[in-house]
Amino acid sequence: MFAFADQDAVKKVVYQLPRVGVGVKYGLPQSRKTSLMTPRQLFKHSDMSLKWQKREISNFDYLMFLNTVAGRTFNDLNQYPVFPWILSNYTSDTLDLNVASSFRDLSKPIGALSESRRKFFQERYSSWEDESIPAFHYGTHYSTAAFTLNWLMRVEPFASMFIHLQSGKFDHPDRVFHSLADTWEHCQKDTHDVKELIPELFYLPEMFMNSNGFELGKRADGTKVSDVILPKWAKSPEDFVILHRQALESDLVSCQLNQWIDLIFGYKQRGPEAVRTVNVFYYITYEGSVDMKAFENSPAQLEAIQQQIASFGQTPVQLLTEAHPPRHSVMSMAPTMFRRCEDDLCMIMKFISSSPIVYLAANTFQQLNQPSVVSIAQNLVFGINRWDNSYTFGNQQRSVLNMSDKAESEQHQPVELPLTADPLIASGNPTQPTPRRHLGDGFDPRLTIGWSNFVTTTDSLFIFACGYPDYSFRVIDSDSAKVRQVVYGHGDVVSCIARSETSLFADCYIATGSFDCTIALWHWNGHLGFIAGEYNQPGETPSPRAILTGHDAPITALAVSAEHGCVISGCEDGTILLHTTSGDLLRRLEGIGPVTNLLMSRECLLTAIYGHRHIVTYTTTARQLGEVKSEDKLECAALTRDGEYLVTGSDNGRIAIWRPFPLQKLYTYQAVDSGVRSVAITSSHRFLLGGLDSGAVVVFNVDFNRWHYEYKNRYHQPNR
């Protein structure tokens, strides 16, 4: 515990502290140099703005980044992350996200959208005569503790905090958040209500449900307040969140979001531009506007000022003093994205061993010097196969299917294809594989070797393998095939392994499940390349961050998210458990057969596959959203990075594309000649890969835009 002389000293110390944590969303990656920067310097030093402009990160992620840099956190209700109102259509039966009239004008502050309110606030500013208090348009800020708690009052611990704020009871029923349409209307008419949104409206459907059964009273018209009344175009809270998130990520919002950033975090936040755009708030909401030292000898005045700040809210730290660059359009960034793809099949690559390809990892990020696809066969031979990111399909591009249609002279010319086999396993004697491409000791005979026995790092430098009879899992150098670490943490064979989301060379979680019915959570040090010990120092004996219990049968499937701080596990008896990364049990789901696959999207949508046939989707609060029985036996599955599409491979050689919510099959590729044992999606989302029983890897072209709500009508695809 440290005590400092004043608030300025506290800020200086805080700005020098590193943002620590595991996972790509646990703070800002910082060097020693950047940890000494102010928020404005940190923003300028970061490449996140450029990534957003180039569409490498989503609107949601960029807004969270801006809030984090500006000091707005989920731990401070007066500086809670602020998001914009996106839509303006909350009363009609349908919602068309391709129509501009469905959206709010992001170039104007929320208080100036209505012409009558804009004139009212301009008149207040121009007629202000108090010499001690600067003129302002809005007395209350768009983000206060009261606003935040009103949004989240149906969810604990915010319900208890809201009751405490209201002196031991919920607020009057006519004032609490009960309808999105009414709340939007208040923000257009009420001169005391200029609130913006919070991030939860884009990912937390539970905030709209009175799951705790709170008695919230009746409104003046006799209406009982319980669940939030959603727009008619939203079938459920989950449906609203999905559509709301789609609206946030739409092109119509992307092209003007920079103007809202200028108002909240940028050059229109204060000064002459703030006056011109009707965006001036009460003076004490701005950083540095009040010198707390001046009230050190007057505790009563100091407390009064602090109460005022708490009531009025706080403006974010100003990050820009010039206009924020706009986001590039889809067509300027990817002019070929709407090009029609004539062939589903791109290529097939066959290995000479003919051993089934049970695992694929498409580590094809543009930032890598050597993008690759890691393939692992059932005989434990692996390949680091080169991937060519410059390859693009087209009408003149030849695939392995149409090579025979070319003239004989042309057939001898090299055919440009995206995937090239690892030269160390492309030739030679399949019965004696090169030691540099074999994982070593055999696996326990009780195991059927499959995709769940392996993961890799995002740069393909290391392979994690489990299933050894000595109850260990191992970290293997992919270049030499030498074992880098042998890690023990279970009382029986390790049956499955999973990795959390991560960026290049960053830390992540590794989760292992075992026949002993437990799950162990490990910390992977991405910079040094080892499973960490207790103090994350080189040379330490690896130790788990948590041991998760609660299952009564061998673990068969795992999913882990550092971003959401949770581990999801499934076992042979159909039970699915949701733990925190600290080891606390949150949820228990009873299934309909052995859990054969678990996948979790960044929006906390859980997809479970039971008995290779039943696909069920859940929220992380255990609400079932959909269930489908597949005609095919599903051997493997993968989610796209945005979580919008599920790809499955079946034992009859079919790869299919599904939408997780609402759960439905969208497309099935033509069957290949053997079962699909593993699937992967390239980072560009333009190719799907399948590992086959025949020992081959098939590469399919894919165009997810065909099913995207925003793009599917912008170009024509042939009927298939």
Contact 194, 142 (CB under 8 A): yes
Across the range 364-385, mean pLDDT stands at 95
| CATH architecture, domain defined by 349-384+424-704 | 7 Propeller (2.130)
Give the ranges where 265-312 is alpha helix by DSSP (H).
272-276, 299-312
pLDDT at 221: 92
> Rounded distance, CA 695 to CA 367, Å?
29
Q: Mean of the per-residue pLDDT values for the chain? A: 87
Kindly tell me if the per-residue pLDDT of 28 is higher than 70.
Answer: no
Kindly tell me if the per-residue pLDDT of 150 is higher than 70.
Answer: yes
Q: Give the pLDDT band (50/70/90) at residue 22.
A: very low
Least confident stretch, 28-37, 250-259, 517-526, 567-576 = 28-37
**What are the backbone angles phi and psi of residue 46, rounded to the nearest 5°?**
-75, 155
For 69, residues 6+ apart whose C-beta sits below 8 A from its C-beta are 28, 39, 42, 43, 46, 317, 319
The CA distances from residue 53 to 184, 256, 684, in Å, are 29, 12, 17
Cα 501-206-601 angle, rounded to 5 deg: 20
Structure tokens at 659: 């939408």
Contact 248, 201 (CB under 8 A): no
Least confident stretch, 378-392, 437-451, 705-719 = 705-719
pLDDT at 199: 95
Q: What value does the CA radius of gyration of the chain take, rounded to a whole number of Å? A: 28
Contact 541, 588 (CB under 8 A): no
Residues of the chain with CATH 2.130.10.10: 349-384+424-704
Omega of the bond prior to 662 within 30 degrees of 0, cis? yes
Q: Which residues pair with residue 456 across a beta bridge? A: 463
> Rounded distance, CA 396 to CA 199, Å?
46
Structure tokens at 275: 């006056």
pLDDT at 159: 94
Across the range 19-30, mean pLDDT stands at 41
Higher-confidence position of 711 and 639: 639
Kindly tell me if the per-residue pLDDT of 240 is higher than 90.
Answer: yes
Residue-by-residue DSSP string for 364-383: --TT-SS-EEEEEETTSBEE
What is the SS3 assignment for 145? helix
Contact 47, 28 (CB under 8 A): no
Contact 384, 438 (CB under 8 A): no
pLDDT at 688: 97
Percent of the chain scoring above 70 in pLDDT: 87
Higher-confidence position of 337 and 5: 5
Neighbours of 709 (CB within 10 A): 14
Kindly tell me if the per-residue pLDDT of 528 is higher than 70.
Answer: yes
Cα 25-28-34 angle, rounded to 5 deg: 170
Cα 149 to its chain centre, rounded Å, is 24
> Rounded distance, CA 360 to CA 698, Å?
11
pLDDT at 718: 44
Residues of the chain with CATH 1.10.1540.10: 47-325
What is the SS3 assignment for 252? helix
Structure tokens at 490: 């279970």
Q: Which amino acid is at 375?
A: S
**What are the backbone angles phi and psi of residue 642, rounded to the nearest 5°?**
-85, -5
Residue-by-residue DSSP string for 613-628: TEEEEEETTS-EEEEE
pLDDT at 24: 40
Contact 192, 139 (CB under 8 A): yes
Q: What is the pLDDT of residues 210-225, one digit of tens each?
A: 999 999 999 999 999 9
pLDDT at 219: 94
Structure tokens at 337: 């994205």
Q: What is the pLDDT of residues 392-434, one digit of tens each?
A: 765 444 333 333 334 444 444 444 799 999 999 877 666 777 8
pLDDT at 456: 98
Structure tokens at 676: 């699909």
Q: What is the dihedral of CA 149, 154, 159, 163, to 10 degrees?
A: 80
> At 69, which helix (H) or strand (E)?
helix 59-69
pLDDT at 475: 98
> Rounded distance, CA 681 to CA 361, Å?
8
Higher-confidence position of 653 and 3: 653
pLDDT at 295: 65
Q: What is the pLDDT of residues 653-700, one digit of tens each?
A: 999 999 999 999 999 999 999 999 999 999 999 999 999 999 999 999
Neighbours of 595 (CB within 10 A): 27
Higher-confidence position of 528 and 1: 528
Contact 290, 315 (CB under 8 A): no
CATH of domain 47-325: 1.10.1540.10
> Treating both helix axes as pointing N-terminal to C-terminal, what angle do 257-264 and 59-69 enclose, rounded to 10 degrees?
10
> At 258, which helix (H) or strand (E)?
helix 257-264
Q: Which residues pair with residue 569 across a beta bridge? A: 558, 577
pLDDT at 394: 52
Q: What is the pLDDT of residues 266-277, one digit of tens each?
A: 999 999 999 999
Across the range 484-504, mean pLDDT stands at 95
Q: Give the pLDDT band (50/70/90) at residue 331.
A: low
Residues 496-535: b if buried by 16+ CB within 10 A, e if exposed? bbbbbbbeeebbbbbbbbbbbbbbbbbbbbbeebbbbeee
For 393, residues 6+ apart whose C-beta sits below 8 A from its C-beta are 341, 342, 343, 346, 686, 701
Q: What is the pLDDT of residues 513-525, one digit of tens each?
A: 999 999 999 999 9
Q: What is the pLDDT of residues 32-77, one digit of tens each?
A: 444 457 888 888 888 899 999 988 889 999 999 999 999 888 888 8
